[in-house]
Chains A and B, each alone.
Chain A
Amino acid sequence: MPLFKNGRFVDDPWLFLADGEPLPGEGMVVVSLARLLGSEAPALADRDGWLGVSLAPAEPVEKLRPWLPRLALVALAFPVFTDGRPFSTARLLRERYGFTGEIRAVGQVLVDQYPFMVRSGFDAFAVPRGSELRGWQERARPHLVYQPDGRGEAPSIWRLRHPDPGPASPRGIPRMTTA
């Protein structure tokens, strides 16, 4: 499956392991959440090599928290592209837990969602087989929106309007005065 990262298609060094498949001795592997939290947990923790986990939309990201320092990749599945739960998951990973590894969108991933994904914290995209790759290169661009993302990176209209919005105001917002 083509992997889109940093604005272009790259090789994918990761191996996505099905639950029944034995753990290879080396290499970068991605396992399911159930497997990560199951009886193999010590083996996974001790194993040499990079470790990733794949999360279904209903699986609570809170369970991943103790593992995050050990993880280099979290893959968030979109069973259908209209399932918006991974956007919340990605934001929690980046903004609440400070995860700095790769957050990859897998499943039904549409290039039109790229701007939403990037601003939520995704940085890699498994483009479904059969999708037009040229479309990704042409269209995978962020676009300007109003509200800031949680990490202070992408420009946003509000930040551009108010580059220095001033100190936090304990005095609140006074009532609107009218003539």
Chain B
Amino acid sequence: METDRRTGTIITANRLRDGRVVFLGAGGWTTEIADATVASDEQERRALEALARQSVVTCEVVAPYPVAVVDDRGRPVPVALRERWRIFGPGPGTETGYAGGGEAVRVPV
């Protein structure tokens, strides 16, 4: 465990309309974790959570929750295994029908 890496908290949620994973950033909800606002203490985290609750009321997102992150070259990376897969997954090769030939059609999302 690299103790010299800065830790913090970001807020993540799913967008209500399409379920996509989003992060609370300075400009609102974003799909890019690099743009997430990182709370470095309790007070900042609570402020972010309050904003997130607002977005639930306005029906922009559903199920927001805090995620512990570490700083990785200026980019927040989740600590927990599950949260890392939530952001980086699904893993390569886990979506096609079969390994050889015949690519799955990827619909732009």
Q: Do any CB atoms of chain A lie under 8 A from CB atoms of chain B in the complex?
A: no
Seen from chain A, the residues whose Cβ lies within 8 Å of a Cβ on chain B are: none
- Which residues of B come within 8 Å of A, CB atoms? none
